[in-house]
């Protein structure tokens, strides 16, 4: 997320109008733990683009018939899933880096096994031919 996405700029009345909900609905969502707007030093709520995205997800789930406690649980699990996906991507990237580093450390002077067998057979033939 960008800083702009997290920057809280909307007062509750503007945010409610943007979202098409009543300001009291936003207060209820905040009390339920579904939204966490930032607060000014004077205690006024300030909403961000991230809050708007969360509100859209709340609306989507409630329109599908999910109650607020279910919405809260789903959103928590979605957040956890996103964090785990990021962790998995980071671990996969680190693993690829370690594999590449290991490959770079291989000794270049070693003869591949297929060539070694041919050299052994040739040496055996020469030894028998010389006897």
The residue out of 38, 65, 92 marking a domain boundary is 65
Nearest to 29 by CA among 52, 56, 58, 70: 58
> What count of other Cβ atoms lies within 10 Å of the Cβ of residue 34?
21
The residue out of 43, 65, 87 marking a domain boundary is 65
pLDDT of residue 127: 77
Q: Identify the residue whose tokens are 């607020």.
A: 68
Kindly state whether residues 85 and 97 are assigned to the same domain. Answer: yes
Query: What's the burial of 51, exposed, middle or buried (CB within 10 Å: 0-12/13-18/19+)?
Result: buried
Kindly state whether residues 12 and 61 are assigned to the same domain. Answer: yes
pLDDT of residue 130: 66
Kindly state whether residues 60 and 112 are assigned to the same domain. Answer: no
Kindly state whether residues 38 and 78 are assigned to the same domain. Answer: no
Inter-residue contact 48 to 19 (CB < 8 Å): no
Q: In the chain, how many domains are there?
A: 2
Residue 108 tokens read as 């270049």
Kindly state whether residues 4 and 37 are assigned to the same domain. Answer: yes
Alpha-carbon distance of 102 to 87, in angstroms, equals 22
pLDDT of residue 117: 64
Kindly state whether residues 35 and 60 are assigned to the same domain. Answer: yes
Kindly state whether residues 5 and 22 are assigned to the same domain. Answer: yes
Query: Which pLDDT tens digits describe the chain residue by residue (131 residues)?
Result: 555 556 778 999 999 999 999 999 999 999 999 999 999 899 899 999 999 999 999 999 999 999 999 999 999 999 999 999 999 999 999 999 999 888 887 766 665 666 556 666 777 777 777 66
Task: Please enumerate in sequence order all residues whose Cβ is within 8 A of that of 115, keeping only pairs 6 or more positions apart, or say none.
Answer: none
The beta strands (E) that lie in 1-131 are given as 38-39, 45-46
The residue out of 46, 65, 84 marking a domain boundary is 65
The sign one gets for the Cα dihedral 65, 71, 74, 75 is positive
Range of the domain at 45: 1-65
């Amino acid at each position: 997320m960008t800083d702009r996405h997290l920057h809280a700029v909307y007062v509750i009345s503007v945010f409610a109008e943007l979202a098409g909900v009543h300001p009291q609905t936003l207060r209820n969502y905040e009390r339920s733990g579904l939204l966490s707007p930032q607060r000014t030093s004077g205690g006024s709520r300030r909403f961000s683009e991230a809050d708007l995205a969360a509100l859209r997800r709340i609306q989507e789930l409630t329109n599908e018939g999910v109650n607020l406690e279910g919405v809260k649980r789903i959103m928590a699990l979605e957040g956890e899933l996103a964090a785990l996906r990021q962790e998995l991507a980071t671990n996969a990237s680190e693993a690829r880096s370690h594999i590449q580093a290991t490959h770079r450390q291989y000794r270049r002077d070693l003869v591949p096994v297929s060539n070694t067998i041919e050299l052994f057979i040739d040496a055996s033939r020469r030894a028998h031919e010389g006897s």
